[in-house]
Structure 1
Amino acid sequence: MQAQAQVLQVEPGRVRLRVSNAGGGCGRCDEPGGCRSVQITQAFGLPTAEFWLPSELVLAPGDRVLIAIPDGGALKAAMASYGLGAVLLLLGAAAGVALSGEGPVDAAAAVGGALGLGFAYGLNRLLFRSRSWRTQLQMKLAPEAACLHSFEESR
């Protein structure tokens, strides 16, 4: 996945960028039959298109660059963040119901679900601290003229 950005500010070891083509989905959001799925990402306000990235490139404000993440990186991050929590919530609730015996089933499901979410939170914290996990999600920055199609080969 790639996006174009413009350099706003340069500091030693990092640059502040503004993403210029923050499209999403299939591009049919506002067409008849389009799902307007991008609107859900803006439910709590417009997303910021400016952020800092580490960079060893020699850049100046106004330069244009390409930002790339490895294929599958966004899916991996989403599955770890949302999928793991959803699965462990359901497994925890099911375990709570199974272990409740004759007791209050709803309370046991709620406690089991909360424990499952807590476990997912702990696993996500461990993943974030893992250097090998972060490397899989690392963004790469290159001058706009460069081609980042061979991102996997350059890691």
Structure 2
Amino acid sequence: MIETQATVTALEGDYALVEASQGGCGRCHEPGGCGGNNASQLFCHGPRHFRVLNPLGVKVGEKVVVGVPDGAVSHSVLVLYLLPLALLVLGAVAGAALMPGARDAAAAAGALFGGLLAWFLARRLQARDVQSPRFQPVIRQRL
């Protein structure tokens, strides 16, 4: 489980809105850390806000540890990056193979079709995954 510290800023039923001052697991500068927070600083500055399950019933202002289940991040990477890339390339190859006379145009059309198919599939898979407890971030403990 990937964990990070956060502060509860608001409550919404069974969920809490939390503000994480750091991204990732906090091991960016340690040996074996992936450095993901360093890369995220290029695109997103300041605190990050998340909606997480609140099984402990924490209150606004409390410091907590938020955990993301194992496999949730890698699953999202597969769905949002690798699936579109694979379908884009497969679409281009299939288009070029089906119409050898107009290879470039067919490859572009096939790539476009593969990209659109990937977009629809990724939206559908992510919408399903949002509802799954396997992928929900959750408050693990109070600090």
TM-score by length of 2: 0.78
**8 Å CA contact 1:91, 1:116 repeated in 2:** yes
Shift of 1:124: 1.2
Per the alignment, residue 83 of structure 2 pairs with 84
> In 1, Cα distance between the equivalents of 2:36 and 2:59?
35
Shift of 1:2: 0.6
Shift of 1:7: 1.1
> In 2, Cα distance between the equivalents of 1:67 and 1:36?
19
Shift of 1:39: 4.8
Q: How many residues in Structure 1 have an aligned counterpart in Structure 2?
A: 139
What does the per-residue CA deviation read over 1:61-91, in whole Å, with 9 as the maximum and x for residues that have no partner?
2211111111121011111110000011100
Per the alignment, residue 139 of structure 2 pairs with 141
Partner AA of 1:78 in structure 2: V
> In 2, Cα distance between the equivalents of 1:141 and 1:17?
9
> In 2, Cα distance between the equivalents of 1:66 and 1:14?
14
Per the alignment, residue 92 of structure 2 pairs with 93
Shift of 1:133: 7.3
Residues 1-155 of structure 1: pairs in structure 2 closer than 5 A: 1-23=2-24, 27-28=28-29, 38-46=37-45, 48-103=47-102, 105-130=103-128, 134-144=132-142
Structure 2 residue matching 1:142: 3-state secondary structure: strand
Partner AA of 2:58 in structure 1: L
Unaligned runs of 5+ in 2: none
**8 Å CA contact 2:23, 2:48 repeated in 1:** yes
Partner AA of 2:68 in structure 1: I
Identity of paired residues, percent? 29
**8 Å CA contact 1:15, 1:52 repeated in 2:** yes
- CA RMSD in angstroms comes to 2.8
Structure 2 CA distance for partners of 1:36 and 1:23, relative to 1, 3 Å: closer
> In 1, Cα distance between the equivalents of 2:13 and 2:3?
24
TM-score by length of 1: 0.73
Structure 1 residue matching 2:65: 3-state secondary structure: strand
Structure 2 residue matching 1:62: 3-state secondary structure: coil
Structure 1 residue matching 2:11: 3-state secondary structure: strand
